[in-house]
Amino acid sequence: MSGGARVVARYARMLKDRGHEVTLTGLGAPALSWKDRLKRLVVKVPEWREPMSHYTVEGLATNLIDGANALRAVDLPDADIVIATFWRTAEWMAALPPEKGEHVYFVQHHEAEFPHADRARAEETYRANSRIIAVSGWIIDVLKREYGRDDVALVLNAVDPILFAPRAPRTKNPRPTVGFMGSHNSTKRVDIAVRACEILREKFSDLRVRVLAASAPNGAYVMHDWFEPDYNPPQEKLAELYADCDAWLFTSDIEGYGLPLLEAMACGTPLVARPAGAAPDLVTPANGALVDSDDPSHIAEAAARLLSLDPAAWKEMSDAALTTARAHDWNDSFRRFEAALYAAADRNWRYREGSC
């Protein structure tokens, strides 16, 4: 249920809607160790089930290969294009024969910086002979600076205007309210958001803090008893959570894009954001505050200025956030994504015909 999976699932569904043949293939149930196999002979072990995902939300079937550690050519149909969406899948893609399609690498983050990634192997995937589509200017800059890639297609993410929209005209809350995304991922720097809220509470004693997270923190960060957490809420409730806030805090060190930026803005909520992912492309003084610092006091200071605005000035900022979000339409993004795929397919078709 990650933001990156939301984007992949949306493009897959839109490609199918346009009449393209799309197969979604991934790893299924993990291989059982000999201890697990022995245990199954003695006790009843629950069967592995595919978790809820954005693919099922979009009504898409997935072809999951059980017991495998990697995908092989036999697991995939012959195609015009094969798309890798994660550095490990890009490794698998590099080993595929030509009949599996022209290689396209859909990059939503510089995954070599992930704490759990094998950096050297992940870096090699960006140097491989594949077409690359990236979702933010920041990623394009990284790929050019660190890997010499000046051939990357930019397709900015978009936001669903039906799912993410204020349910009523936005007005500033009588009680100041901020929100942020909780995460176990250390690069999200939830500690900065938490500390900023602690500082804000010294100025606004009645401060409300909404926390949107997939699961409880379990020690990954502080969850104060005066925070109001929502763990893995239904998709239909997300807009309500964003729209309940006067400001949304975005404190990541690194992001490929950062969909909560657009989602919050689409709900009329101004941003207080560090310059990660698409934040520099989206956040302006008119719709929020861009804070180039990891000092929580600087984040709190920017949020305090926003919370101290009079209702009319805050409404102008909220309207500007809405305008920014509405300029990022899925249909426009999809047209660019499809055009990049057609360019790759054209190369593959010419290869098959012996003209290149």
For the chain, give the mean pLDDT.
92
**b/e burial code for range 217-248 (CB count within 10 A of at least 16 → b):** beebbebeeebebbeeeeeeebbebbbbbbbb
Six token digits for residue 324: 């920014």
pLDDT in tens, 278-308: 999 899 999 999 999 999 999 999 999 999 9
What does the pLDDT read at residue 161?
Answer: 87
pLDDT in tens, 313-326: 999 999 999 999 99
What does the pLDDT read at residue 356?
Answer: 38
What does the pLDDT read at residue 355?
Answer: 42
Show the domains of the chain with their CATH numbers: 3-158+330-352 (3.40.50.2000), 177-326 (3.40.50.2000)
Six token digits for residue 251: 């404190």
Does 267 have pLDDT greater than 90? Answer: yes
Q: Are 218 and 190 in contact (CB under 8 A)?
A: no
- % pLDDT > 70, the chain: 92
Does 5 have pLDDT greater than 60? Answer: yes
Does 277 have pLDDT greater than 70? Answer: yes
pLDDT in tens, 86-145: 999 999 999 999 999 999 999 999 999 988 899 999 999 999 999 999 999 889 999 999
Q: What are phi and psi of 88, to 5 degrees?
A: -65, -40
Q: What are phi and psi of 264, to 5 degrees?
A: -65, -45
Strand 25-27 to 81-84 pairing: unpaired
- % pLDDT > 90, the chain: 80
Does 262 have pLDDT greater than 90? Answer: yes
Mean pLDDT of the 155-163 span: 91
What does the pLDDT read at residue 351?
Answer: 47
pLDDT in tens, 47-83: 656 677 899 989 999 999 999 999 999 999 999 999 9
- Name which of 83, 93, 97, 12 is nearest 351 in CA terms: 97
pLDDT in tens, 216-238: 999 999 999 999 999 999 888 99
Of the pLDDT bands very low, low, confident and very high (cuts 50, 70, 90), residue 29 is confident
